[in-house]
Amino acid sequence: MRPCPTITPRERRVFPGKTLRWTAAAVLLVALPVARAEKPWETLVDLEGKTHRPWRTPGTKAVVLVFTNVDCPIANYYQPQLRQLQQKYAPRGVRFFQVHSDPAVTPEAARRHVRQFHISMPVVMDHHQQLARALRAKVTPEVFVLDGSGKVVYRGRIDDTYVDYGRKRPRPRHRDLVEALDALLQGRPVPRRQTKAVGCLIVYEEPLEEP
């Protein structure tokens, strides 16, 4: 039986068990040395086997990681928009990546998805959920904007078209990803650093540890 990772930090504080405490301690011990090593997003291998080191690529001003899935309708709704954003921002030094953190999505399924939705950005398979775990991604589509130094400056929704499941604005009121990128590229502080992404929830193979 594989556990279904529904135990979240919030609940754990409500029922702190002995085992959980020990697990947390163990995880902390293991995680500490890792934290000093390279971040998992510094080297990204795409579906074609090509290795990307965006922060070692000249001209990189920002990196956008989009957590996605092949069959999440909300993530797919944004695919045409993501393609347009990439076309617009790539020449200005923004590197876009899409990340599959669902182990059930095979590379073949991901390639089919790339063809069907004309995805033009590199697609990264995160089958061990290292990227998702390191960034604590919760939802597809959730975007993470990292600046030139590798710091997360924005996380959350692409825009606010989806207010909730089945509750959609005809047009977004806030284009949060665009606002974040524009601010970053113009050297201004990002207006909203974090928003709530609406979509399909990422299921972790092992529960996320407490931050």
Q: Which residues bind other proteins (CB under 8 A)?
A: 1-11, 14, 71-73, 76-81, 102, 104, 116-118, 136, 138-139, 163-171, 173, 194-197, 200-203, 211
Among residues 44 and 200, whose Cβ is nearest to other proteins? 200
Q: Are 131 and 101 spatial neighbours (Cβ–Cβ below 8 Å)? A: yes
Q: How many angstroms separate the Cα of 70 from the Cα of each of 5, 113, 145?
A: 21, 6, 21
Cis peptide before 141 (omega within 30 of 0): yes
Q: Which residue bears the tokens 């499941």?
A: 165
Among residues 110 and 202, whose Cβ is nearest to other proteins? 202
Among residues 26 and 201, whose Cβ is nearest to other proteins? 201
- Please tell me what DSSP assigns to residue 193: S
Q: Quote the least distance from Cβ 10 to other proteins, whole Å.
A: 6
Among residues 3 and 59, whose Cβ is nearest to other proteins? 3
Q: Which helix (H) or strand (E) holds 100?
A: strand 94-100
Among residues 61 and 127, whose Cβ is nearest to other proteins? 127
Burial class (CB in 10 A: 0-12, 13-18, 19+), 143: buried
What is the distance between the alpha carbons of residues 144 and 55, in angstroms, rounded to a whole number? 15
- Look up residue 130 and give its two tokens: 């290292």
Q: Quote the least distance from Cβ 168 to other proteins, whole Å.
A: 7
Query: What's the helix, strand, coil split of the chain in %, to 5?
Result: 35, 20, 45
Q: Quote the least distance from Cβ 164 to other proteins, whole Å.
A: 6
Q: Quote the least distance from Cβ 151 to other proteins, whole Å.
A: 14
Among residues 52 and 157, whose Cβ is nearest to other proteins? 157
Q: Quote the least distance from Cβ 93 to other proteins, whole Å.
A: 26
Q: Quote the least distance from Cβ 172 to other proteins, whole Å.
A: 10
